[in-house]
A = this chain, B = another copy of it.
């Protein structure tokens, strides 16, 4: 079979699959499974185009890696064929550990298990299966490689992961303000003392990149309705698991059943292969197909929560800069308890608070350096004419309060 394929991508036009090994990794069930895990979870409830998957994102990030390496080579930076393949595979697999609706799941069914750890675990497993041919890729992924800048292309404040997801999320949501000039930024990449830097002429593009990312946070990732949808999913899974652990019968696909009925921690994952096996069977469809069935479950709370989701009758949500008033919350809880005729304890499924945070630029961690024409390096936050970027370093914290629309 010809494994030098070209894939149509509405974002970049065409994506090349550069080698047979990469082709075989893409064909692996672990990677094909990402076809059924949406990049933005419940966001399509607000932006109906946002159905793109982690599969597509991983391919896109891989494409950007090939552009970046071409640019760096053009500037005299040596990158061997082996290093290129390692970096390519590392970025291709950087999100392989994601499960469906990661944020929701990581707070419920696979509590405390970060997708980064699973990515690592899976890459190790694949390395065995592919007879050690992923060893260099894993080194790049971990940052244990000779060329640190290759790792920075995968994980830093200016990595190709972010660059692709901003492009892709902006494209599929239709939020044009998120558009960044990734091609210009990549053309301005350079390497100084083994560190990825951006040449001076790219400074406005970097500013725009940081501002766009911030805008995408508030307009898309932390959009009210998106949060309302995700919170609802969390509550559904919490309730379902509560029932399952009590022994109540629940319809579920086998993979979902596995995680509903067992308490699995990160050590279990590493010690018993079965858990990873089941996790690799799980995707968005298991969750949602089961939720549809639960609409008619005898447990009134579970049924109500599921119906809220399928009919898109989500929580009403308030986002504020100050913590919401305690007495107001108490009142809300009481009313909801009465209206729904549920216990005080059960009200927590319907009325609750949470906190969201965002920081557009983190001046303390893997800063973005600008290479001035006089060959000195300067932090982007200081290179800028204005104090904009210093202010982006502040963490914005907001409070959310959710309650049902019935009251």
Contact = CB atoms under 8 A, between A and B. Distances in A.
A48 B9 contact: yes
Contact of A49 (B56, B281, B391): B56
Contact of A177 (B172, B181, B219, B286): B181
A393 B11 CA distance: 34
A47 B13 CA distance: 11
A174 B44 CA distance: 20
A166 to B, nearest CB: 12
Contacts of A386: 214, 391-392, 394, 396
B44 A48 contact: no
Given A218-B204, A281-B292, A56 B52 contact: no
A387 B387 contact: yes
A292 B287 CA distance: 13
A269 B1 CA distance: 46
B48 A35 contact: yes
Given A32-B311, A49-B56, A52-B51, A175 B392 contact: no
A6 B8 CA distance: 26
Interface string A392-404: 1010100000000
A19 interface: no
Interface stretch (A205-213, A232-240, A326-334, A335-343): A205-213
Interface string A8-45: 11110110000000000001010010011000000010
Contact of A254 (B181, B285, B288, B293): B293
B174 A176 contact: no
A407 to B, nearest CB: 14
Interface string A312-355: 10000000010000000000000000000000000000000000
A350 to B, nearest CB: 18
Contacts of A204: 177, 215, 218-219
> How many copies, total?
4
Interface in A39-97: 44, 46-49, 51-53, 55-56, 59
Given A49-B52, A51-B52, A396-B385, A181 B187 contact: no
A179 interface: yes
Interface string A167-195: 00001111111011101100100000000
Contacts of A176: 179-181
A1 B405 CA distance: 10
A270 interface: no
Contact of A293 (B11, B35, B253): B253
A388 B385 contact: no
A251 interface: yes
Given A9-B48, A29-B310, A286-B292, 20 more contacts: A8-B46, A11-B174, A14-B187, A27-B311, A29-B311, A32-B311, A35-B44, A48-B55, A51-B52, A177-B181, A177-B184, A177-B204, A177-B205, A208-B215, A218-B385, A253-B289, A253-B293, A255-B292, A285-B292, A386-B394
